[in-house]
Structure 1
Amino acid sequence: MMPMKLICIGDSITYGYGVNRSQVWTKLMEIKLNVEVINKGVSGDTTGGMLSRIYYDVILNNPTHAIIMGGTNDLIWNVNIHQIEANLAAMAFQIMQNNIIPVFALSIPICENIVQKKWGFIGRFDNINSDIIKLNQWIRTFSENYNINVINFYPLFYMDDGNIDEKYYIDGLHLNRYGHEKMAEIINLEDY
């Protein structure tokens, strides 16, 4: 049996914007699972950009599994949610057609009050979390229909009172090292 090799394709949350390379969730997952993990996150990328690089960044690297995590930047740029869904579906289908096991990772919540100050110039953040919830729900439903595993990062960053725990964020959008540790903690080999 071929040893597990994971490629993670996504945006700045996958890349680990603002965090030391050794502290990014993908690196922590590699150490925890004792498998090869290749981080193909690109800060600022959209699902359209991810789809355009799926062949070179995922398929040509011949992994056993590919974790797909994206859509938040699309929502910030006001891309139609149906286009985001189509891009994610196309990625999953291309991955499966190449005998690679897809896994979706659900997007994390955004601290709307903090992120507007730092990143307000790039797009809209009002009601971003309700849009992320809608997209995450679509990913769950799509994944159930195609028997694709899902890693649910979204609830990790909420406190018991229903507020987002800001201590895990650098700027309301990106996670600090403790947020990345929290993501790596919930990933298990049995999930794949």
Structure 2
Amino acid sequence: MIRTSLFDIYPTKQANVVMLGDSITQAVDWRELLNRNDVVNRGIRGDITEGMLNRLQYIYKLKPKMVFLMGGINDIKSNEAASEEIARNHQKIVTELIERQIKPVLTSTLYVSSTERKYKKINQKVDELNDLLKKLATENDIPFIDLNSKLANGHALDQKYTIDGIHLMGNAYQIWGEEISRAIGSGTLAQKSSR
């Protein structure tokens, strides 16, 4: 509620790139990380994929060309939602974005580290969800960024990349940022440096 009320008053009228997600997305200044002045952060701490779906109007009003989506860990941890249900929410978001000529980029739902309670059970659901998300990306001919292949140690988030077993440190964001820049570079958006 607080975050969406801010989205209503922020002066940005247009952004080529929008970051959509939960606290993992919200935590970083994407403009600085990506060195672009056409990026807006629309991550909300604690959000689930249904919440992201229900607030797409805040994305549309920015008229973006690309939306990077990462979500699902709160659905799994807090709501114990089924992987299929979470993937359906992703599908609805992707379909709506494509209908509005916005290119979605799916990002894998991240593992939690082995310090988390029930991490094996959680990460098994993360694997199931990511298999469905990869399929969704293939079917819609959109990019899929597999962050777990970069940040995992086995089937868990490597502890050198996390502060608390879930949230990321700067070294992880650096890797994620490189993947995003690569996806933007292979798209139609020219580099817009803010430095």
**TM over 0.5, yes or no?**
yes
Greater relative CO, 1 or 2 (CA 8 Å, sep 6+): 1
SS of equivalent residue, structure 2 residue 149: helix
In structure 1, how many angstroms separate the alpha carbons of the residues matched to 2:160 and 2:84?
33
Residue-pair matches, total = 171
Partner of 2:104: 102
Query: Is 1:14–2:7 an aligned residue pair?
Result: no
72, 78, 81: which one pairs with 1:79? 81
Partner of 1:186: 179
Report how far residue 125 of structure 1 moved.
4.3
CA distance 1:164–1:90, shift in 2 (3 Å): closer
Query: Is 1:63–2:64 an aligned residue pair?
Result: yes
Partner of 1:150: 144
Report how far residue 132 of structure 1 moved.
0.7
Q: What runs of 5+ residues in structure 1 fail to find an aligned partner?
A: 17-23, 117-123
Partner of 1:138: 132
Q: Which amino acid aligns with 1:60?
A: K
**What TM-score do you get using the length of structure 2 for normalisation?**
0.79
SS of equivalent residue, structure 1 residue 68: strand
149, 158, 161: which one pairs with 1:165? 158
Q: What runs of 5+ residues in structure 2 fail to find an aligned partner?
A: 1-13, 188-195
Aligned Cα RMSD in Å?
A: 2.1
Q: Which amino acid aligns with 2:49?
A: T
In structure 1, how many angstroms separate the alpha carbons of the residues matched to 2:157 and 2:119?
15
Partner of 1:45: 47
Report how far residue 35 of structure 1 moved.
5.1
- Percent identical residues: 25
In structure 2, how many angstroms separate the alpha carbons of the residues matched to 1:48 and 1:28?
28
CA distance 1:108–1:4, shift in 2 (3 Å): same
CA distance 1:73–1:163, shift in 2 (3 Å): closer
